[in-house]
Amino acid sequence: MPITSDIPYVAVVRVSSSGGPFHEGDVLSIAFSTAPICRLAQHSGAAPLTKREPGDALVPETIAVSVVVAGGPYAAGDVLALSFVDPSIARIHAVRSVAPSQPVPPTEERFEAPAPLRSQATLPAGRTALGVRTRLAWSADRVRRFVQVCDKLFTVDRLGWYRHTLAMRLLLADEVSCGEPQVDREIIPHLRALRTSALETLGRPLLAAFMPSFYVTPEWLDSLDDPVAARAVAALREAIQAHAVDDRSLEGSGDSGWSEGEITRGELMETPATSLEAFLPLLIANVSPLEALTNRLTAYRRALVDLFGQTAGSVEAVRLSQMTQPNHVLDDRLWQLVGAVGECLGGLATAS
């Protein structure tokens, strides 16, 4: 009988930093068919896994583990991070690999997705790629608009997580490049289409959110989902994925009017191909010559990538219940970022 992709891979890991019900030294089995998502099983007499109560905040725990017995793309000695809300199911984040690994064969999708987004090419394990860079210009208008809009977003309690689907649209990179002229030219129209669509979908939902009787409805959520943006994301991913790497150090230009970033191979592999909300944070250029701004951009970008990546497959009932509640991690990161932008770059807005 042929082996199919429905048969999971299994790896054995040892916990190196405690979190949730897990303690340093615990041995776990992780089972997965697609690399980013796994089920956890605890070994040898440890306390049973318990789910959080429904009223608990949807803020994931994260633990670091090292691979003891290889499985799928993970070799013995690899260091991984596992993040979870329900400790029986986790998202895998590759932190350090000891050797190039083989990709996990794609599995059949369990949900319906737009045709352009249903496939995700395997990223190469070689070291010949140049890396994917992002750049964002901090113009006076951008500084002013970002601070003013975010201040207003914090006045709308019913937005919950969706405060951040709107805020991240104000931080999308102006440029994405791979260092190869032909590829860079191919990227330009896809990025332009994505930015235009994202900013257009910012307008009407944003105005609706400021109405006194606002609350999140299926219709309001539909206004955030744009087929043009979905197609642009699929095309952009296809253009850049062969050029993304994990081991390239980012050196900024030194111009405080710009921030720069890098989209890594690991981020692309772990970000669901069908989720606009999970992909947009990758386009936040987070490194600035201004240290305070770098710290706040990096913290907010990391939280967006992690938390929206985990909820990308949530059904609409979850989006209308849990995700309409405040997310204190994201709120805190955004609040601190707004303060850093005002403090570091406020002079741009007042000088114009």
Tens digit of pLDDT at every position of the chain (352 positions): 344 445 778 889 988 888 888 888 888 988 887 667 888 888 754 444 444 444 444 457 788 888 888 887 788 888 888 888 778 888 887 665 554 444 444 333 333 333 333 333 344 444 476 789 999 999 998 999 999 999 988 988 888 888 898 899 999 999 999 888 888 999 999 999 998 888 877 777 888 888 877 878 888 888 777 788 888 888 999 899 888 888 656 666 667 789 999 999 888 888 887 788 889 999 999 999 999 999 999 999 999 998 888 877 666 666 677 777 888 999 999 999 999 999 988 776 555 4
Please name the residue ranges forming H helices in the chain. Answer: 140-153, 162-167, 181-209, 218-224, 227-240, 265-270, 276-279, 291-310, 316-319, 328-351
Query: How buried is 49 (Cβ within 10 angstroms: 0-12 exposed, 13-18 middle, 19+ buried)?
Result: middle
Q: pTM here?
A: 0.62
Tell me, what's the pLDDT at 80? 84
Tell me, what's the pLDDT at 272? 80
Tell me, what's the pLDDT at 212? 79
Structure tokens at 41: 């099983």
Query: How buried is 305 (Cβ within 10 angstroms: 0-12 exposed, 13-18 middle, 19+ buried)?
Result: buried
Only one residue has tokens 């994260």, namely 62
Tell me, what's the pLDDT at 187? 92
Q: How many residues in the chain?
A: 352
* In contact, 177 and 130? CB cutoff 8 Å: no
Would you give the DSSP letter of residue 34?
S
| 40: three-class secondary structure by DSSP | strand
Tell me, what's the pLDDT at 2? 40
The sign of the CA dihedral 262, 267, 271, 273 is positive
